[in-house]
Amino acid sequence: MSPPEGQSAELPPVRLSGRIADDPSRLLHDEVLEPQFTYEVAAFLPWYVLVEKVLLLEHRRMALLDADQTRALAVALRAVTAGTTTADRHENLSDLAFAVERQVTGRLQDPPARWHVDRSRNDLQACVQLLHGRARMAACAEALLRCAETARRRAGAHLRTPMPGYTHLQPAQVVTPAFFLSALAECLIDGASRLADAYDRADRCPLGAGAMAGGELPWDRHTMARHLGFARSYAHPLSAVASRGWVMEFAAALSVTATALSRFVTDLMAWGGGAYGFLDLPDELSGISSAMPQKKNFPVLERIRGRTAHLTSWYIDVATSQRATSFGNSVEVAKEGSSGLEGATGTFCSLLRLLDVVLDRATFVAPAMREACEGNHLGGMSLANLLTLRHDIPWRRAQVIAGAYITEATRAGVPPEGLDAGVLTRVAAEHGHTVPDAADLLAAVRDPERLLLRKTPDGSAHPTAVEAVLADQGAQLERLRHDWRLRTETARAPLSAVDVLLDTPEPDLESTCATTTSSTR
């Protein structure tokens, strides 16, 4: 039918919405939309294109698109790059999903009418965010495992190097750098395991949930999940688009690990100070004072500890941005509440790289550590044990006698490495006990190496016990590396596999579509 006389046959330009007439304001574009767009292009664009390709496979499977249309759309999607994607408040409302759609349709002479039918941005964006989040989890886990291996390796060189262990910041018992470093390795291993738990819980594909209540077409959610490298699809469409619990779990996992690391680094900072002198770093990892030429500072440790604080801040940011919001898709939760992910995970990986090089290059100053062991009566508990085991002195009274001996010896100016059997004999007698072998007892608890070897070789600071812990950690690291490698390979496989599927004609298309349609009724 011809248009009425005097009217053009041209249709108005296709807009993205008929609900609002005006494009975003310059202020909204500059303050909100363009920064979000720039972030998403850098972080999410490959995932957007991948998800669109998977959706294209579904369009083809449901016979919404023929082979030629599918091929043309696939070619257009492959041409979408960061260089071709810009925020335009008039053309694409400065929204990345619309920008991809506009680019694709703009490359086609006759865009298929059914492309993007029954589709929503909500599950698309939830899926893209989760795909990127999983990749960041894997990167953080890799950094944790690398640092754990360095701590474990360095521990193996110090199994028999005595140093003071501290409780309440006071010298307590003889331990070794290996004992400390193996605890640090355990913390890092726990961090990687904690991330694995979060990753596996988040391994659910939101695609197919639609805006919030599912679609009207028979989308094969489980196949789409498999194409995207997920273990399964979300069971509930509302949870798929509304929940960002995985972001909170991710943030919590990093916060827990970072908080523990801050404590280990606090010890390293103290040991590197002049009051201890247990730790040294090479000049290239050190700093100076601008006014006090005698100083050699270790600001890298301050940087590491300072950066751990940002991870707890991120967790609080995520939790408070989700708290008391409606359980549905929202920009507040999905975008504002998740905006810190890139910076926080970058900070986490950075502090682990710094810690890794510190552990690799640090020198433990054995003479200073031994001197501190010898100067602090670290055999006090061993002395009490011997008084009980050799002379049947009740344990609590043995503690009193050992403590009284240390007090008396200190007042008399007897150094810890000295022997004053007379003082121990007199103190024991004052408490109603005879200790004829006082000199032997004191000799047994004087030497740091002997004190170390007095520990049980199972679950202690004894070299054999720590060696066993390190061996077990080696096995744990190997398992974790293997499991994380599988997760990463599974997540990356779709990047090439989906293109292969798009280039392969759909087998028995009508039959496949009919089967799928009937199964959803």
Three-state DSSP string of 291-355: CCCCCCECHHHHHHHHHHHHHHHHHHHHHHHHCCCCCCCCHHHHHHCCCCHHHHHHHHHHHHHHH
How far is residue 48's CA from residue 289's CA, in Å, rounded to a whole number?
50
Residue tagged 């090089």 (tokens): 357
One-character DSSP codes across 391-438: H---HHHHHHHHHHHHHHHHHTT--TTS--HHHHHHHHHHTT---TTH
Tokens of 252: 């919590």
Contacts of 448 (CB under 8 A, 6+ apart): 162, 174, 370, 373, 374, 378
pTM, whole model, 2 decimals? 0.91
Mean pLDDT of 432-455: 94
In the prediction, which pLDDT does 333 show?
95
CA 380 to chain centre: 41
Q: Is there a contact between 405 and 427 (Cβ–Cβ < 8 Å)?
A: yes
- CA distances to 72, 311, 376 from 172, in Å: 73, 32, 8
- At residue 354, what are phi and psi to the nearest 5 degrees? -65, -45
Of 49, 109, 59, which is closest to residue 84 (Cα–Cα)? 49
pLDDT tens profile 390-426: 999 999 999 999 999 999 888 888 777 777 899 999 9
Of residues 346 and 1, the one with the higher pLDDT is 346
Q: Which tokens hold the place of 27?
A: 């202020």
pLDDT at 8 > cutoff 70: no
Sign of the CA dihedral 279, 281, 283, 286? negative
455-483 tens-digit pLDDT = 998 999 999 999 999 999 999 999 999 99
pLDDT(277) > 80? yes
Alpha-carbon gap, residue 354 to 357, rounded angstroms: 5
Residue at token pair 């865009």: 111
pLDDT of residue 14: 64
Q: Residue 362 in contact with residue 354, Cβ under 8 Å?
A: no
Q: What is the pLDDT of residues 225-257, one digit of tens each?
A: 999 999 999 999 999 999 999 999 999 999 999
Kindly report, residue by residue over 316-327, the tens digit of the pLDDT: 999 999 999 999
- Give counts: helices (H), strands (E), the chain: 21, 6
Output the six-digit token pair for 507: 């087998």
**DSSP labels for 32-100?**
IIHHHHHHHHHHHHHHHHHHHHHHHHHHHHTTSS-HHHHHHHHHHHHT--GGG----TTTTTT-HHHHH
Q: Average model confidence (pLDDT) for the chain?
A: 92
CA angle 30/35/36 to nearest 5° reads 120
Average pLDDT over residues 495-516: 63
Angstrom distance (rounded) from CA 259 to CA 45: 33
- The sign of the CA dihedral 389, 390, 394, 396 is negative
- The size of the chain, in residues, is 521
Q: What is the mean pLDDT of residues 70-96?
A: 96
The span from the CA of 173 to the CA of 455, in Å, is: 11
Please name which of 92, 144, 84 lies closest in space to residue 121, comparing C-alpha atoms.
92
